[in-house]
Amino acid sequence: MDFELSEQQAAFRDLMRDFARKSISPVAREWELAGRYPEEIVDEMKAMGLFGMLVPEEYGGIAIDAVSYSVVFEEISKAWMGVAGILGSHSLATLMLGKYGTAEQRKRWLPDLATGKRRSGIALTEPQAGSDLQGIATVAKRAGDHYVVNGSKTWITNARHADPLPVLVKTDPNAQPRHRGMTVLMIEQGTPGFTVGKDLDKLGYKGPESSEVFLSDCRVPVENVLGGEEGHGLQQALSALEFGRVNIAGRAVGVAQASLDRSLAYARDRHAFGRPIAEFQAIQLKLADMATEVQAARLLTWWAASALDSGRRADLETGMAKLYASEVCIKASLEAMRIHGGYGYSTEYEIERFYRDAPLMAIGEGTNDILRTVIARQLVREDVP
């Protein structure tokens, strides 16, 4: 039982850490507060091959393992969690294409997605359907060699840059059980009837856009059905979300670690009553709990990623990792603010950004309460000790 990264994984982590330190950290606070899109950082990530993390090598990707994948999101999120979001939903789209796409679909889209020439996201959520994906209302009706799609999506990361965008629709609204009537369509930019609406204002998670998407008599060719066959969309989406929980857990660990790092530095430098506040037991207790919980979250994330790398079903492990890491992240960001006092509340420091970014991890890729039910059902079904 090895709780350390391999030599190759550690070298990759160091590469990502150096990239985040040199290219992201110096501009993160200024650009985030200004609402500036990090185009220069995106260009560097293209050059590093990060848009092809989950793309098979035969299509120009680097096909890294799931543990390394989680490390990418941890290291970037230490500097600016929003930047990690640009890679997150894109990589899930490439995962879906690589795993479920037809040979023609993989050949058509994956090479450009691997380089970042094309980018993508994943359009699941609707105004009235988030956690309950079977409740979506977007419908695609077959009309000859096209589907005519009507409906809307919301909170779609990378919507303005996605080409193609995987969109979950109902091709048979009357199917029972409902999931048998659900399909993923790959919708390309410029398709008539496909419109990206406004960018939604957010508390945190700034950098990537989160947008509305409208589909009005949008005509999508039949050959754009992911996998070439109707009725498998929910399975494909849930499989992507299972993997996506590792990137959310990695992001949470990154923000939590950054909160701890800033708190340690501040506690050493800040003096009160003639000595560093790091010498006060009240501060020491906070720091000890933060360090222990962050490391536990990191190891749980690597454990879940290793389960994915083994090729077996891992919704229990990824659910646990995402649940625990996101709760640790929220707690760590709050404790960091308490340690910093008034400075933690100021935009001159990064603590307030960590505090604003942290709640997203408890919501994204399945809310924590939903994940608790997923975990419990697996425990009961499998009788896991």
Residues that are catalytic: 365
Beta carbons of 165 and 149 less than 8 angstroms apart: no
Backbone angles phi, psi at 271, to 5 degrees: -110, 145
Nearest Cα to Cα of residue 351 among 258, 242, 277: 258
In whole angstroms, give the CA distance from residue 257 to residue 152: 37
Any idea which residue has 């919708």 for tokens? 187
Nearest Cα to Cα of residue 185 among 100, 249, 247: 100
Residue 24: DSSP 8-state: I
Q: Quote the radius of gyration of the chain (alpha carbons, Å).
A: 21
In whole angstroms, give the CA distance from residue 355 to residue 78: 13
- For 310, residues 6+ apart whose C-beta sits below 8 A from its C-beta are none
**At what angle are helices 103-115 and 81-100 packed, to 10 degrees?**
160
